[in-house]
Amino acid sequence: MSAPTLPDPRQWREAERWLARADQDVRAAEALLALASPEVDSAAFHCQQAAEKMAKAALIAAREPPPRLHDIDELGRRVQAHFPALGAAFGALGGITRWYVSARYPDAGGSPAPSVADVRDVLSRLGDLRGQIAELGRGAPEG
């Protein structure tokens, strides 16, 4: 496997736009958990959205157009083709894909609802992922 390709400045600026949106989702999830009666389903949805946007930012940094899909497992596989460790970290979050559906549709059923602890754990892992993706941009030439 060859070394990862560094993003060009224009691509990195686009990746940063996706990361800024992911940051908004993380802040929304944190705020929803901080309520007197935490809104766990909505916080979980924002976690899934943050992971999706972070994965798409990594793909943009790798010069791959972001696909129109919401499956964190599939996004992780695509990221892994360019950044193996980063893709594996997304793969470890694959179970949160169901949060995208369960938070939106009351009759989704099937999977147990996430707990506050589940969402906090994912938020912590998203923070780590965010830092790893930021490292990709450190190698981008100034533009």
How does pLDDT run across 44-61, given as a tens digit for each residue?
999 999 999 999 999 999
Give percent of the chain above pLDDT 90: 71
Residue in this structure with the two tokens 């990195």, named with its chain if needed = 12
What would the pLDDT profile of 90-139 be if each residue is shown by its tens digit? 999 978 998 887 777 777 666 778 999 999 999 999 999 999 999 888 76
Domains annotated for the chain, with CATH where assigned, are 9-138 (1.20.120.330)
Burial class of 1 by CB neighbour count within 10 A (0 to 12, 13 to 18, 19+):
exposed
Exposure of 2 by Cβ count < 10 A (0-12 exposed, 13-18 middle, 19+ buried)? exposed
DSSP-assigned letters across all residues of 11-24 = HHHHHHHHHHHHHH
**Predicted confidence band of residue 1 (pLDDT cuts 50, 70, 90):** very low
Q: Please, which pLDDT band fits residue 30 given cuts at 50, 70 and 90?
A: very high
